[in-house]
Amino acid sequence: MVGCPVGCLVIGGADTFTCVTAVAVIGAAGRMGKTTCDAVEAAADLTLSARVGSGDDLVAGLKGADVAVVMTSPDGVDDIVVTCVEQGVHAVVGTTGWTEDGLARVRAALAKAPGVGVLLAPNFALGAVLLMRFAAEAARYFESVEVVELHHPNKADAPSGTARHTAAQIAASRREAGLPASPDATTAVLDGARGADVDGVRVHSVRLQGLVAHEEVLLGGPGEQLTIRHDSFDRVSFMPGVLLAVRQVSGRPGLVRGLENYL
């Protein structure tokens, strides 16, 4: 049998080999965790090395893993990612609701672990990544832009990570184009009626039974409106992006934010 040049588990015969990446899923009992375990188990080049839940020993779960996929709730996710980095395990992170302090802790851990890659991606659905790209492009040409995100009622964070990332990209694109803020003459307002202000872009959060994950970007100009919408009807929509990230993260050291940087 021929050895793998980067030292991972190898299957195959005399002259051929297939590198198998060992993947630990953190948050494995959750909605995204379960779907991720299924996707990893179905991929010939990946092996599921551990399913780690909230009561489990994380360090033990990371033993033998090349990559951790983190799909936990937001509380304590920075501790989890810092532990992955300290254990030399690359991390593909879907958890949203990050704080600036949490991000700083991950950057500090990575500074001491050159070669380790961490991808934080608020949305692994390829359609959502494209929505963000199209919205940023379109936002240069319209006076007004607002974001509406719609999710299942069990979601912990609002606005969604995707909506925050979308608003940040829209704001950057409008700044670059020299556009002012969207016009808004509201003076009498009930708290919350105009949504959250993310980088100067209004973001509205809907939580509704029956929904999975949906987002609309509304763009308005004199006499016209453009709506860009993406719908995830099933969590399998996130899996091609998760697997793509698992296969690439070891070659992307440091912190990367957004799946668009891997495409």
Ligand X SMILES: O=C(O)C1=N[C@H](C(=O)O)C[C@H](O)C1
Q: Pick the catalytic residue: 34, 63, 90, 151?
A: 151
Q: Are strands 67-70 and 213-221 parallel, antiparallel or unpaired?
A: unpaired
The number of angstroms, rounded, from the C-alpha of 60 to the middle of its chain's C-alpha atoms is 25
Among 76, 46, 81, 45, which residue's Cα sits nearest to residue 62? Answer: 81
Q: Pick the catalytic residue: 63, 90, 112, 155?
A: 155
Q: Verify whether residue 34 is a known catalytic residue.
A: no
Q: Verify whether residue 151 is a known catalytic residue.
A: yes
Tell me the HSE value of 88 on the side-chain side, using a 13 A CA sphere.
2
Mapping DSSP to helix (H, G, I), strand (E, B) and coil, where does residue 66 land?
Answer: coil
Pick from 12, 64, 76, 251: which binds ligand NDP (CB under 6 A)?
Answer: 76
- Known binder of ligand: residue 161? yes
Instruction: Look up residue 35 and give its amino acid.
Output: T
Pick from 74, 127, 220, 253: which binds ligand NDP (CB under 6 A)?
Answer: 74
Cα–Cα distance for residue pair 186/89, rounded to 1 Å = 49
Which residues are at the interface with ligand X (CB under 6 A)? Answer: 96, 122-123, 151, 155, 160-162, 213
- The residues facing 226 across adjacent strands are 219
CB 83 within 8 A of CB 59: yes
Q: Is the dihedral of CA 72, 78, 83, 86 positive or negative?
A: positive
Binding region for ligand NDP (CB under 6 A) out of 9-17, 46-54, 104-112, 164-172? 46-54
Binding region for ligand NDP (CB under 6 A) out of 48-56, 139-147, 174-182, 245-253? 48-56
Shortest CB 94 distance to ligand NDP, Å: 3
Among 128, 136, 133, 79, which residue's Cα sits nearest to residue 108? Answer: 79
The residue (of 20 and 81) whose beta carbon lies closer to ligand X is 81
Residue 255 binds ligand NDP, judged by CB under 6 A:
no
The residue (of 77 and 213) whose beta carbon lies closer to ligand X is 213
Shortest CB 34 distance to ligand NDP, Å: 8
Binding region for ligand NDP (CB under 6 A) out of 72-80, 106-114, 170-178, 199-207? 72-80
Residues marked active site are found at: 151, 155
